[in-house]
Amino acid sequence: MVRASPPAFAVVDLRLTDGSGLSIVSAMRSVRPDSRSIIMTGYGNIPTAVSAAKLGANDYLTKPVDADEITDALLTPIGSVTPPPDHPMDLGEKEWAHISSVLAQCSNNISQAARLLNMHRRSLQRIIRRYE
């Protein structure tokens, strides 16, 4: 789809069911060099951020992300740095957002979510109680 009708802007998840968002960024840049793209992920790490930058992504954002952050990342002039968020989430909020996301993917099955999060089921239950 990117090759047939390359968009000017794209927000792409790193992990896709049929591959990596990095391949979409690369395809966009090869067909439309002036395109702007950002990679979003709940599994951010330095190696993939570097790969995204090398392939032409304009920014790399870790979830959860609000609409203002996405807009800023897409509209910041090339060569400029995206401004930091006005109210960045603290580590506990990011942890809870990630856990909530995994729980939702597992239809709130705590045992399955605990396996995916690589933690004991009771530890996950304690964390859930803390945020309820």
Condensed to tens digits (0 to 9), the pLDDT of residues 41-87 reads: 887 788 888 999 899 898 898 887 888 888 888 888 777 777 666 66
DSSP state of 43: S
Domain ranges in the chain?
9-75, 91-131
Q: According to CATH, what is the number of the domain 91-131? A: 1.10.10.60
Reported as a single tens digit per residue, the pLDDT across 21-47 is 999 999 999 999 988 999 998 877 888
CATH homologous superfamily of 9-75 equals Response regulator (3.40.50.2300)
Q: What is the reported pTM?
A: 0.64
Q: Which residue has the tokens 């930058």?
A: 53
> What are the φ/ψ torsions at residue 76 (nearest 5 degrees)?
-65, 130
Q: Check whether the bond before 64 is cis (ω within 30° of 0).
A: yes
